Structure formats: C-alpha cells, structure tokens
Amino acid sequence: MTQTLILAADIGGTFMKFGLFEESGKLIHRWKIPTNTADFGSNILSDLVSELRRVFSEEGLNPINLKAVGLGVPGPVTGGHIVNGCVNLGWKRVDLSEECLPLLKKAGFPDVRVSGLNDANAAALGEFNRGDVPGCDLVMITIGTGIGCGIILDGKLREGAFGSAGEIGHLMVNPSETKVCRCGKKGCLEQYAAAECIRRKVLKRLHLPDNALTHKELPPLVLEDVKEAGEMLGRALAAISCAVDPGLFVIGGGVSESGDTILEPIRESFLKHSFHASHDATVRLASQRNDAGMYGAFYAALATLKNSRTTEK
Amino acid sequence: MTQTLILAADIGGTFMKFGLFEESGKLIHRWKIPTNTADFGSNILSDLVSELRRVFSEEGLNPINLKAVGLGVPGPVTGGHIVNGCVNLGWKRVDLSEECLPLLKKAGFPDVRVSGLNDANAAALGEFNRGDVPGCDLVMITIGTGIGCGIILDGKLREGAFGSAGEIGHLMVNPSETKVCRCGKKGCLEQYAAAECIRRKVLKRLHLPDNALTHKELPPLVLEDVKEAGEMLGRALAAISCAVDPGLFVIGGGVSESGDTILEPIRESFLKHSFHASHDATVRLASQRNDAGMYGAFYAALATLKNSRTTEK
C-alpha cells in the first residue's frame, strides 16, 4: 500500500513550525526554521518547499507520497486558501494554492492539495482533535501579538456570515475607554490583553523605559502585569458564554506560557461576569501548548484530502 | 388519507395564542385567550386542553387526527419538555409531557406528542422558517418583560453546554453600573432594555409618578424613552457579532412594536461597537411580528412528530 504523507505548518511571525504526518495522524518528523519576513514575506512559501525537499531527501521519502499541505497563518483566510493580509508576515492578498502548487511541482511533488486556515482556527481544531476532551465544543483564545479566537460549535469551525467569527480582539469590553484601538473603535479587548500591553505593564513595574525590552525578552510575568488583561479577557469570555454557552474555553498563545499567572485572573473575572448557569464552564490552558496550531493545520489538510477523494470519484 | 393536525401555542404571561395547523404548515384556525396565572398557573394546561376540545368540536374535526402539540413558554426548557420555572406563568418545574398527556387523553385525544421550547427560541425558529430569508442563520432578540434570545447557527437552534445559550439579558454591557440586577450581577443588558426600564423612562418624561401606568398602558414610545436601551442592545449585538458573526439580527417582543423608534438606536449602537467586517449584518424587526413564537412552536412540534415516526419504525 502506498504511504500517504501530509505536511502541516504553523507559520508565525518569528518561526515556521513543521510537522510531517502519516494519514493516520502519526507525526513522523518535526522541525522549525525562522520565518523570513523580508521583501513582504515573498520567500516564505519557497522556504517551505525547500525545507520539504530537503527533509524528503534526507529521510529517503518518495515525493509522490506527499498528498496534502496545510498551512496555519496569522491572518484571515477565506475559501480555504485565500489569505486576506497577514501584517506579521508582510503579506497582502495571497492565494496559497496558486502560489504553492507551481513551487511544489517544480520541486518534484506532483500530487499535492494545499489548504490554509487562520492560526487561531488551526489551534482550535488541534485542541478539538487532540485535547484532553476530544470532540468537545470549544472556544480557543490565543493571546499573543494580537488576540486570536477559533470557535468550534456542534463539531464545526465557525466562520461567520462575513468571515469574522472569533474577532474577539475587537469585542468592546470597556465603554469608558478614551484611547482608540488600531481598528478605529474604543475599548477593544486587544487594547488590554495583547502582548504589547502586557509588555508595557512589565516595564512600568520594573521602572524601565518604554523601549527597554521586546515582548519576547520579558522576565516571568507576575499577577500585577496581567491583572487588567485577565479582567478584560474574563469579560469577553462571559459575553461569549451568554451568547453561545460553550462548555470549554482554551487559552493558548505566547502569553499563556505564564500559566496560572494569567489563567487565574481570567477565571476570576469570568465567574464575576458570566451568567450563573454557565459557571461550570471549563477555562484552561491549551493541552497541546504551542503545538495546537500545527496539529490543527494537519486536520485541515486531512479534511481537504478526504474531500478531494470524494470529489474525484 | 388521514389528516394530521398540530396545535401550536405561544403561552405568554398575559395571553395564550393558539394556531391549529395541518402538517404542511397550513394554518387552519387561530385564536387567543387570556392566560390564567392564578394558583401558580395550575389551570394553564387544562385551559389549553379545553380550548382544543371546544375548537375540534366546533370545527367538526376528528380528535384522532391531533398528532402533536408544541408549546412556547417564557422560561428555560430542557430535553424538549421540562420547564425549569416560568416566573410570568407562576410555574416552578413542570414536565409538559407528563402533565399534558393525561389531560389530552381524558379529553379524547389519544395519539399526541407534546413538546416545549423557550419562547425566544420558538420565535427564532418561526423567523428561520417563515421570515424574509428562510433558512438564514439568525439571532432573534425579544424585548419584553425580560430580554429573550434564540440563536440559530448552521441551521440549528443553539442550546449551549449548560442550556444557557441566548442568555443575553445577563450579558454585561456596562461595567460602571452600581445597581444590582435580579441575577445578582451588575450592568446586565436587562437592567437597561427590558420593558420595565423603558416604562420608568416614559413616566419620567411625562412627569408621572412611578406607578401611574403599567408597561401595557404606555403611550407610543419616543426616542428619549429607548435611547439607552438601544445603546445597550447594540453593545450586546456587537459582542455576539465579534463571537459568532451571524448575518442577521431579528428584533421582536412587545417593545419592538415601537418599530423604527427602537430599531434605529440599536442599529446606530451596533455600527459603533461592532467590528467593521460585520457592519453589513442586517438588524431588522421580526417579519412575523408577534406570530413568530406560534409558528416556531409549530415547527418544534412538527420536528418531534417526524422524529417519533422514525423512532417508531
């Protein structure tokens, strides 16, 4: 029997994380490389294909067996392959299929389907399939440079009527805010809970100038740094809960690496603001930690592959 | 061929509205009677059965043909027939099947299935099936004594992990509020947008004492009466939109009878607080007006009937 291989990639602003999977879900090789965001990220997809070629050659794998590539990207994706701008990668509109397929063909991979999805949606899919309670509806929140959110209801990733389901970074949590968010509104969750706001709190606590450290160079966070972020995240979770009442909220992304320091204030605020019937909802850290996105990209690629087989029949 | 008949009832705190339907959805008789809430609403279900008996007799219908009864009630319903308290009816826990079936049998209706659902969910189902755009996902908001909400996503009424999907009356829209809501939290939507708050605004505008008029005796509303309600409803709609991005919000319930007076401030606030990608979402009045709940109760009963046929096969 021919072996079917699937590449999943979580393309972040700093690193690209790769997983080469068998169709069964068995991970056979994993590695990461820095993301080259120079020239509007124009080398990202060719770097990805070069890496694939290198690994297939080193591992003695047959390129004909690569059947699908799934890409998680930090921006909105429509139709399963059109990226509508990724600030952190330097991308404007990118059609992943159109750009990847010729590169893959040229590199000797003749039979591949390419699909993409938003990185928070990928993380949600990863947790849904591989988390502590596989198959449980969930709301995944990734706290990093921005606030990402992927929502799975009735087993299905929610896209929304205008592709903006999960845009909770711009959910208004503070009507008294006077500063304007980059979206033009005031009081958005992202104004309190994104990595940049937390970085500023840390520097203030340490009495350091505003440009002393990047958010990747921060010392371990303490409660004071994330208290406001937790309060505002809890308000957003409570609002989501009043609307669709999911049983599970999963917290991921870079800031979630501070563990209970960020989790506890979120839980406290959620209990304060949510309707009593939903108090038993679970709020926990991603069980796949930073691999949730890579696993989710695999499940998206697997679905595309299965779908293509049905269509080709 | 035997005729199949279905009774749908929208049981409100003031009136019970009945519709007798053919299975095709054709409405063959409609009427309403006052709701008798005396003695903890203990006569409501027997009144309903007496009405059925009277109408079947007057119309010369055969009781064997009544196959299903669907009841929309102003409170939470689980499992399709357990009512967990209805303040406006005086009910505590009521098992609709268990209480209705013996009464129906005694009145000569031998072959009936009884199902119930929350009235806002019923209104959502009614609009989903009979609204301007049948089959379109929607969030139905009913503004009356309380704030009800029924959410249909991917064609399915959302119940929620703890049965509290659509509890947007207790979505926190004002973190600065100092008064406590009847749920124990502060700043809930219901504190600004329910009929009672609007009644108080009207009396203040008319320089009348606080107990001069009930909310059913109010003169036509003006913008001043509903401006705050509209602002807070718009905030809640925007929060729902950031989470699940439905394409359509439908406004119903008693207060919605003031038409554009309430609709315009909701729309204005929604545009102010929602994420730009969702600005094109439709916010409109229920196209079925106050009949949405009765139609929805019919569709719920029809689904129960179809389901029982599959099970009995």
The interface predicted TM-score (ipTM) is 0.90
Give the type of residue at A207. Answer: H
| C-alpha distance from A82 to closest chain B C-alpha (Å) | 16
The per-residue DSSP string of B158-202 comes to ---TTS-TT-GGG-B--TT--SBPTTS-BSBTHHHHSHHHHHHHH
- The H-or-E segment that residue A10 falls in is strand A5-11
β strands within A35-179, DSSP E: 66-73, 77-78, 82-86, 91-95, 113-118, 138-143, 147-153, 156-157
Average pLDDT of chain A to the nearest whole number: 93
Report the relative pairing of strands B113-118 and B66-73 from DSSP bridges.
parallel
- The H-or-E segment that residue B295 falls in is helix B292-312
CA–CA separation, B133 and A17 (whole Å): 44
Give the type of residue at B234. Answer: G
CB contact under 8 A, B165 and A238: no
Do residues A93 and A86 lie in contact, with contact meaning Cβ atoms separated by under 8 Å? no
User: What pLDDT, on a 0 to 100 scale, did the predictor assign at position A1?
Assistant: 52
CA–CA separation, A150 and A141 (whole Å): 7
Interface check for B289 against chain A (CB to CB < 8 A): the answer is no
What are the residue ranges in chain B where pLDDT is below 70? 1, 312-313
- Report chain B residues whose CB lies below 8 A from the CB of A160: 244-246, 278
Phi, psi values for residue A136, rounded to 5°:
-90, 130
User: What pLDDT, on a 0 to 100 scale, did the predictor assign at position B251?
Assistant: 96
User: What pLDDT, on a 0 to 100 scale, did the predictor assign at position B1?
Assistant: 52
User: What pLDDT, on a 0 to 100 scale, did the predictor assign at position B310?
Assistant: 86
Q: Residue A313 above 80 pLDDT?
A: no
Q: Residue A85 above 90 pLDDT?
A: no
**Three-class SS of residue A65?**
helix
CB contact under 8 A, A170 and B242: yes
Which of B 134-163 lie inside 8 A of A, CB atoms? 137, 139, 149, 151, 153-154, 156, 158-163
Report the phi/psi class of residue A299: left, alpha or beta, with left for phi > 0 and alpha for psi in -120 to 50. alpha
User: What pLDDT, on a 0 to 100 scale, did the predictor assign at position B7?
Assistant: 98
Give the type of residue at A293. Answer: G
Chain A residue closest in CA terms to B241: A165
Do residues B177 and B195 lie in contact, with contact meaning Cβ atoms separated by under 8 Å? no
User: What pLDDT, on a 0 to 100 scale, did the predictor assign at position A156?
Assistant: 92
CB contact under 8 A, B153 and A240: no
User: What pLDDT, on a 0 to 100 scale, did the predictor assign at position A84?
Assistant: 84
pTM (predicted TM-score)? 0.91
Do residues B83 and B140 lie in contact, with contact meaning Cβ atoms separated by under 8 Å? no
Confidence of residue A122 (pLDDT cuts 50, 70, 90): very high
- Report chain B residues whose CB lies below 8 A from the CB of A239: 171-172, 236, 239-240, 243
Residue-level length of chain A = 313
Write the pLDDT tens digit of every residue in A185-212: 999 999 999 999 999 999 999 999 988 9
**Judging by beta carbons within 10 Å of its beta carbon (0-12, 13-18, 19+), is residue A187 exposed, middle or buried?**
buried
Report the phi/psi class of residue A108: left, alpha or beta, with left for phi > 0 and alpha for psi in -120 to 50. left
CB contact under 8 A, A137 and B273: no
